[in-house]
Structure 1
Amino acid sequence: MRLLVANRAEIASRVLRTAKRLRIPTLVVYHPIDSDLPFVREADQAICLEAEPPRGAYLDGARLIQIAKNEACTHLHPGYGFLSENAAFVESLEHAGLGFVGPRADSILALGDKQKSKELLRQLQIPLVESFELSEAKQADFERAANQIGYPVLIKPAAGGGGKGMIRVDRPEDLWEAVQSSRRVAQASFQDDRVLLEKYVESARHIEVQVFGDGEGKILALGERECSLQRRHQKLVEESPCRFLSPEVRLRLMRESEKLATHLKYRSAGTLEWLWDGSDQIYFLEMNTRLQVEHPVTEETFGIDLVEWQLKLALHQEFPERVPEQKNHSIEVRLCAEDPAQEFLPSGGKIYRLDLPEEVRADFGYRTGNIVSSEFDSLLGKLISVGETRKEATEILLRALEGLVCVGPKTNRAYLIQILKSNAFERGEISTQFLSAFPAQFDYLEAIRWIRQLGATGPGQNVTDPDAETEDLDLYSPWGGCGQNNQEADWWADFDGRRYFFPSFADWSEEIGPAKAVAETESSSDQTESEIRSPMPSKILKISCSEGEVVSKGRPLISLEAMKMEHQIRAKRDCVVKRIFVSEGQQVLPESVLLELGDLDGED
């Protein structure tokens, strides 16, 4: 076997690690933006591919197949995302005489497509959430379907997964905008703009079952994972097993999952996702016909390597005879370059320092000195703990998170700590709605922690020097400035868009810990309420207003794309749009002025 890993960052490094242990020669492709990432160096060979947009380097199936043939590769591993659930690509790969490390194309067609999978599931009498596929439908068709099943509803791509393009809609007036947004994301992420409309099940838990098949009808169900803690329908915290399932519900989940996978003679790793209402009712959501981001918690509790199983199956080596015994408890958290305090807007820029804890498994795609690009998703990596009990696994993971150092882009590290420390998490009182009501509290101690980690020096400036200048060349630096202040506090430092005041920096070279923040005000930014600015490097996807238009609070104004996600800027008050400074398709930098708004009475 010679293996082409057609992916990037964390998952590419993950697959390469197992391939190296099995002494399988490897090849990767990469876009120039990714040239310094670890996976490029970890492969035996790396080929640079120019593409615009950059994600095209990992989505051009014909080009990847030609490279695989030219470089004498025998198999391709897709990782997750990109082409991992593209049946046409798998067929083309196999027609070219290359092996796909994953399921057959017919399984992807039947299960990777949400609507087709639901037709099959109805035949197998597996419980479903009510839904409609409205591929070519007009606005009125969506409105009729939503009214039929009742709000809230969920709009999501018919192909692909990972939470991309999934939008909850609570009001009829927001429905069509959500449909258009989901279609744009679906086309950009999966090359397929079909969407589904389904009933949104509130206060449910998200449980998934890992299966592995030999392609001839033998299926192993490798326990369940609890994945209820999500933001924007993307998982943040996953664990296995779910300690709150009754034996009866667990048995139903395993049997129903095995029934479907057996019917299809499923090959390789796959995951069936379910909603559980907390009592005895389960609803099938979808099947992801690929390796999942959260697969490590299954590996850690069963003592297996799913990538090794995939590669050995592709080589027609011996298939495991039975499901290993599941032991202990494992929890995974995803460290993402995003700002929880700003509705999880993605961040980016240079990682000045990244120190990973040694007491847990750390699957990361970045290292110190790497650049986190806004062209790709925000996942930096994952921390995975194992303990004899859920409580022990939580405590181990908390220590690891508190010891992790990531200086550069904003991350959700502090937010993850807050989640794991919450009483609700400890008691298991969680659902898919939990994080929507969980506040992102920012502690000023995080600013102090940054200063300590940087040796009291921010990128391009010394925070103890009142004459220091801001680093103008670094668009992502969290340090907006520093200096003396005329208020009671002696010193201030801008950090993550906030200004923090400190009584003294004089002794911080010796001891930073005792320092206290004594005041906090708004950032010194000259942005006013009348200006709407870009919160990140992004592309203008859609402008939903016009100059002179009166808009109400909550109305979508502009849709931005960054890190493979679409983000909407909405009006925070009733106002009038005075000027629009950008156009659709335009690339903008952080803090670029997008709109000027005015009060309805004519005053800014």
Structure 2
Amino acid sequence: MFETVLIANRGEIACRIIRTLRRLGIRSVAVYSDADAGAPHVRLADDAVRLGPAPAAESYLHVPRILAAARETGAQAIHPGYGFLSEDAGFARAVREAGLVFIGPGEEALHVMGDKIRAKDRVAAAGVPTVPGFAEPAGERMPDAALAARAAESGFPLLVKPSAGGGGKGMQTAASLAELEQAIPAARRIARAAFGDDALLFERLVERPRHIEIQVLADAHGTVRHLGERECTLQRRHQKVVEEAPSPAVDTALRARLGEAAVAAAASVGYRGAGTVEFLLAPGGEFFFIEMNTRLQVEHPVTEAVTGVDLVEQQLRIAAGEPLAELPAEPAGHAVEVRLYAEDPARGFLPATGRILALDWPEGVRVDAGVEAGSEVTADYDPMLAKLIAHGADRAEALARLRAALETAVVLGVTTNLGFLGALLADPAVAAGELDTGLIDRLPEPGEPGSGDARLAPALVAADAMLERAARAEAAAADDVWVRARGFAVGGAAPPPRRRFEVRSAAFAGATDHAVAARAVTARADDGSAWVHTGGVTAWLAPEPRRAALDARLAELGRAGAPASPELRAPMPGTVTSLGAADGEAVEAGRTVLAIEAMKMEHRLEAPVDGVLELAVAVGELVQRDQLVARIRPAEAAEPEDRPGGPERPAEPGADPAQHASHEE
């Protein structure tokens, strides 16, 4: 076994790997960027080496620096975690050529399974069923128009997927030729930026499927075994949200068939280590190969919970040349995992940033986290904060434990999907196990609650009390008598007026009927806003000045029947990746005028009205949330000297700047 292992990753996966290394008595080495200098994984490791600035291209994707860190710390092996370089055949080769052990599969497996087209051809030759579709010829790029024409002949709906990469990044759906004409360039653009390869794969979209994956382990002696399935059907924008093991739709016979196909897929590339073979399961029981992830998965803890097998330990033992041990034949109990993201469900699940002011994880469940109180959540990396995993004797018990955990989990300082997860687990279809990959998309969009929402009453009281205590403390410490005197009345001091609050975000994780203990956890942000968690409710509240409240009410009165705003503002912090129209060009309402990407997500902004486009940004520019990026003016009102961004900027509709994109799942 190895004495020292370097983890070429960050966040919760680095922390999780370090815990197993520590249990086995193996020295751990962390690497970090400037943005992660104070991150938990850096302190948890026995040693840590700085790689470079925050952009991944200059740190976590910089192979020479990672290898230098391994050499200087005496590491014998490198564990890539997931994302970043974990499925990069060139990185695996560089590690081997440096005389180190890559804790992952061989280069052939990475090369074949790292490309969906090659992978599909290889497993089909091994007898594994695949989804009908077509791909661009190897080494060639068909014109977008030719691709669209061929796709139209194949029929809709279609799934457009980057051949390289994984984790749903860049994946687009198209139900018509018009949608396909936008989906193809969008998929190419994201694939080129994220993976350096813009080859595309087209597959028929299987209606209402389940997403089932099989965990496999394979040693260097030719033994390949599987550890059963995980249900990963609950997805949003092709990103997994909830995972569980075993699947409520898989019985012993189907598990054996899926396992046999997964083992055949892994054996077709001489696989070694831990990997996951993913399938679509149609309502009638037919299944199709999607892809193979040649690494540890985000959702691996649910398999560990029902098998008792530490998958990281198995990776280490296999990489050290040990033969594969016997594995459990059937799962014990049931496990469910949710992914906690820094995102705002009320704003279309757009990524959120900020400093975590308070954090309190629930008891009775496993929490794999890479953040703590004081951590800064930035747009540099994937927005996942943690995973919460509950295990029970059966599915109902596991779900109940996880829902109770979500009600008591406290994350203040950054908007999260905590409330959405609680509501999702309480959905009748989810509770009954009647799942398909489109279920989340069919749910009502989470609304933006107002301060009049009765569920927010305890949070408003707690926020008011916290800010009043802070105001009293500041007044008591002030030198100015006019500051210390906080109002008066005949017969004594006047009571402070009750504050009005603007609700910036609110999450209602308490979806059960029973009352959650009304313990209030509060935190005050630097801008004077209040964060509160109480009774399963997490709220971000900004004190509303009286004048602002009056202006808001007057604006609301005049809003009915008003035309759509001609201004387009950035819905999230990110980078402008493309322009769909030139500055000064006439556009119609609904036309895509620009795209912004951050944290693995591309958001396209459309013209709200007909008129002339006036751009305030250029391709490659970094923008902040709510920043004005464009304006649409009626043709007769658009004057070139009155541009929203100052000097006129040239349009760059075909540009694609070199930029870093998160490679995490």
Pair 1:575-2:610 in alignment = yes
CA–CA separation in structure 2 for the residues paired with 1:249 and 1:512: 44
What's the TM-score, normalizing by structure 1? Answer: 0.87
Structure 2: give runs of 5+ residues left out of the alignment.
Answer: 475-496, 507-519, 523-532, 542-548, 639-665
CA–CA separation in structure 2 for the residues paired with 1:322 and 1:357: 31
Residue 628 (structure 2) aligns with: 593
Alignment of 1:147-546 (within 5 A): 147-323=152-328, 325-442=330-447, 444=453, 456-457=465-466, 491-496=499-504, 529-546=565-582
CA–CA separation in structure 2 for the residues paired with 1:566 and 1:297: 30
User: Residues 100-154 of structure 1: CA distance to partner in whole angstroms, max 9, x if unpaired?
Assistant: 1111111111222111111112212221112333251211221123113212211
CA–CA separation in structure 1 for the residues paired with 2:575 and 2:364: 40
| Larger displacement relative to structure 2 (17-26 or 297-306) | 17-26
Residue 512 to residue 52, structure 1, CA distance change in 2 (3 Å):
closer
CA–CA separation in structure 1 for the residues paired with 2:402 and 2:536: 26
Residue 46 to residue 522, structure 1, CA distance change in 2 (3 Å):
farther
User: Residues 371-416 of structure 1: CA distance to partner in whole angstroms, max 9, x if unpaired?
Assistant: 0011111100100000111111000000000000111111111101
* Among 23, 28, 49, the residue aligned to 2:51: 49
Contact 1:547 1:580 in 2 (8 A): yes
| Larger displacement relative to structure 2 (244-253 or 554-563) | 244-253
Secondary structure of 2:444 counterpart? coil
Residue 570 to residue 216, structure 1, CA distance change in 2 (3 Å):
farther
Alignment of 1:73-152 (within 5 A): 73-134=75-136, 136-152=141-157
CA–CA separation in structure 1 for the residues paired with 2:281 and 2:6: 38
CA–CA separation in structure 1 for the residues paired with 2:342 and 2:147: 35
Cα deviation, residue 189, structure 1: 2.8
CA–CA separation in structure 2 for the residues paired with 1:169 and 1:183: 14
Residue 393 to residue 578, structure 1, CA distance change in 2 (3 Å):
same
Residue 559 (structure 1) aligns with: 595
Residue 110 of structure 1 aligns with an amino acid whose one-letter code is V
| Larger displacement relative to structure 2 (241-250 or 6-15) | 241-250
CA–CA separation in structure 1 for the residues paired with 2:462 and 2:181: 47
Cα deviation, residue 170, structure 1: 2.0
Secondary structure of 2:500 counterpart? strand
Q: Answer with 1 or 2: which has the greater Rg.
A: 2
CA–CA separation in structure 1 for the residues paired with 2:634 and 2:294: 51
Residue 37 (structure 2) aligns with: 35
Cα deviation, residue 521, structure 1: 12
Residue 580 of structure 1 aligns with an amino acid whose one-letter code is L
User: Residues 327-358 of structure 1: CA distance to partner in whole angstroms, max 9, x if unpaired?
Assistant: 00000000001112222110011111111111
Residue 418 of structure 2 aligns with an amino acid whose one-letter code is R
Secondary structure of 1:84 counterpart? coil
Contact 1:347 1:536 in 2 (8 A): yes
CA–CA separation in structure 2 for the residues paired with 1:448 and 1:158: 50
Secondary structure of 2:346 counterpart? helix
CA–CA separation in structure 2 for the residues paired with 1:186 and 1:277: 28
Pair 1:25-2:33 in alignment = no
Residue 486 (structure 1) aligns with: none
CA–CA separation in structure 2 for the residues paired with 1:214 and 1:453: 56
Cα deviation, residue 512, structure 1: 8.1
User: Residues 185-221 of structure 1: CA distance to partner in whole angstroms, max 9, x if unpaired?
Assistant: 2233333333322222121111111101113321111
User: Residues 487-535 of structure 1: CA distance to partner in whole angstroms, max 9, x if unpaired?
Assistant: xx9642122269xxxxxxxx999x9879999xx9997999982221112
Contact 2:34 2:54 in 1 (8 A): no
| Larger displacement relative to structure 2 (42-51 or 1-10) | 42-51
CA–CA separation in structure 1 for the residues paired with 2:635 and 2:183: 27
Secondary structure of 2:279 counterpart? strand
Contact 1:214 1:267 in 2 (8 A): yes
Residue 92 to residue 553, structure 1, CA distance change in 2 (3 Å):
same
Contact 1:329 1:388 in 2 (8 A): yes
Structure 1: give runs of 5+ residues left out of the alignment.
Answer: 469-488, 499-506
Residue 116 of structure 1 aligns with an amino acid whose one-letter code is R
Contact 1:217 1:264 in 2 (8 A): no
Residue 23 to residue 454, structure 1, CA distance change in 2 (3 Å):
farther
Cα deviation, residue 222, structure 1: 0.5
Q: In percent, how many aligned pairs have the same letter?
A: 38
User: Residues 438-477 of structure 1: CA distance to partner in whole angstroms, max 9, x if unpaired?
Assistant: 12434546755765776854xxx669979x9xxxxxxxxx
Q: CA RMSD in A?
A: 3.2
CA–CA separation in structure 1 for the residues paired with 2:275 and 2:463: 43
Give the aligned length: 568
CA–CA separation in structure 1 for the residues paired with 2:334 and 2:200: 36
Residue 377 of structure 1 aligns with an amino acid whose one-letter code is D
CA–CA separation in structure 1 for the residues paired with 2:130 and 2:29: 41
Cα deviation, residue 601, structure 1: 9.6
CA–CA separation in structure 2 for the residues paired with 1:411 and 1:26: 31
Residue 581 of structure 2 aligns with an amino acid whose one-letter code is C
